[in-house]
């Protein structure tokens, strides 16, 4: 694991080995609505809101998605992220999400964990069960906060791309502003290969909407 950088509002999700549309999300917790193919989490007080999407994941996977901030976070705390390679989905609020990895974007003006920077930061968590997760890495992203706030003020939909090689443990989070640039995460080789049948979008005390794109097997 080296260099997690820049999530700036990641996720919206999907997949299909044969370029099919994503299955209907299963809304496990929070207050969700579907409007014209876009999914809205409307409860800014929900700390463990989650939508599960059934997606078989093996080998190299490419995740395309988009997301838009809809409200909340005025109390100085909010977050959003996605679990990848989940073995079993849990239909309810939970801290972790089975056996999986969580990519998380966090805004917290007063974090309780002293390894997490105040303000904007990105984390990589290893989930071992629905009740147990381990923080593997945290990165200060405050240099990107002005960009994030500018996009939020314009009500901008932001598109993202994440590539994961489940055999090597390499994760590339592509820069939304420069498709040729990506930020690298390298997972512990002892955890390989990565396999899973679900992904999950989750929020913490903010309103957010996302639109599924496609996730596919990739030769990148």
Q: Is residue 87 part of a domain?
A: yes
pTM of the model: 0.88
pLDDT tens digits, 17-75: 333 456 789 999 999 999 988 999 999 999 999 999 998 998 989 888 889 999 998 89
Query: Which domain does 146 fall in, by range?
Result: 26-217
Q: Is residue 109 part of a domain?
A: yes
3-state SS of the chain: helix, strand, coil percent to 5?
A: 5, 55, 40
Q: Is residue 21 part of a domain?
A: no
Q: Is residue 12 part of a domain?
A: no
Q: Quote the number of domains for the chain.
A: 1
- Token pair 């496990």 in the structure block, residue: 28
pLDDT tens digits, 133-162: 999 999 998 988 888 888 777 788 888 788
Mean pLDDT of 191-204: 94
Q: What is the per-residue pLDDT for 22?
A: 67
Taking the CA atoms of 12, 16, 19 and 25 in sequence, report the sign of the dihedral they define.
Answer: negative
Q: Average pLDDT over the chain, rounded to whole? A: 85
CATH number assigned to the domain comprising residue 95? 2.60.120.560
pLDDT tops 80 at residue 217: no
Q: Is residue 165 part of a domain?
A: yes
């Amino acid at each position: 694991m080296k260099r997690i950088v820049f999530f700036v509002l990641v996720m919206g999700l999907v997949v299909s080995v044969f370029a099919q549309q994503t299955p209907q999300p299963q809304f496990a917790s929070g207050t969700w609505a579907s409007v014209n193919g876009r999914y809205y989490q409307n409860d800014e007080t929900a700390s463990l809101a989650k939508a599960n999407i059934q997606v078989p994941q093996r080998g190299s996977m490419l995740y395309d998605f988009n997301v838009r901030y809809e409200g909340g976070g005025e109390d100085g705390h909010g977050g959003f992220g996605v679990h990848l390679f989940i073995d079993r989905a849990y239909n309810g609020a939970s801290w972790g999400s089975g056996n999986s990895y969580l990519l998380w974007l966090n805004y917290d003006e007063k974090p309780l964990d002293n390894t997490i920077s105040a303000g904007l930061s990105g984390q990589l968590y290893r989930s071992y069960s629905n009740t147990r997760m381990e923080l593997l890495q945290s990165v200060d992203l405050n240099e990107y906060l002005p960009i994030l706030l500018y996009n939020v003020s314009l009500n901008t939909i932001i598109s993202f791309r994440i590539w994961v090689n489940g055999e090597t443990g390499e994760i590339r989070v592509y820069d939304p502003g420069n498709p040729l640039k990506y930020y690298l995460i390298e997972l512990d080789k002892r955890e390989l290969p990565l396999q899973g049948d679900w992904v999950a979008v989750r929020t913490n005390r903010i309103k957010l909407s996302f639109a599924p794109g496609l996730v596919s097997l990739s030769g990148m």
